[in-house]
Amino acid sequence: MGLFDFMKKKGIVIASPAEGECVPLSQVNDPTFSGEVLGKGVAIIPEKGMFYAPADGEIGTIFPTGHAVALTTEEGVEVLIHIGLDTVKLEGKHFRILAQTGQKVKKGDALIEADLEAIRKDGYDCITPVIICNTTDYAGVTGKTGIHVKPGDACMEIEK
């Protein structure tokens, strides 16, 4: 280890909650997400219907409809995972909640299972924005887009 290595600040890594293509938020067909109204982040085009904790932390809210979950990492990063667009209108159909509000989770713990095929059949886009809701608390949020990710692979780095 070099003399100055300890001075290099490592950012906070947020993992992908699902397997699929990691794309910029600008590709999300919803102005709230693509316009970064809720914060910066990335979107996952999911290939499988299992969604996992992207970091160690605590679930702040798991929506009763199962379409979204908000958690706060141990470092204080507020992450929103929103499965699909307008999927709240499904009122929980095609979603199975595997965690609960207030639960402490470890990176990789299962949170929600979604039947992506059924959701698509019902006419919904399954693209999944992963948003840092407290973006302004950090120097920067950098997405690792244009790559295929598996759950647990880094998809964002946050500069303190």
Q: Which residues are catalytic?
A: 82
* C-alpha closest to that of 66 among 46, 83, 85: 83
- Calpha distance 75→73 (Å, rounded): 5
- For the CA atoms of 101, 104, 110, 112, the dihedral, rounded to the nearest 10 degrees, stands at 10
Distance CA(40)–CA(132), nearest Å, equals 6
DSSP 6-55: GGSPPPEEEE-SSSEEEEEGGGSS-HHHHTTSS-EEEEEEESSSEEE-SS
| Distance, CA of 91 to CA of 71 (rounded, Å) | 21
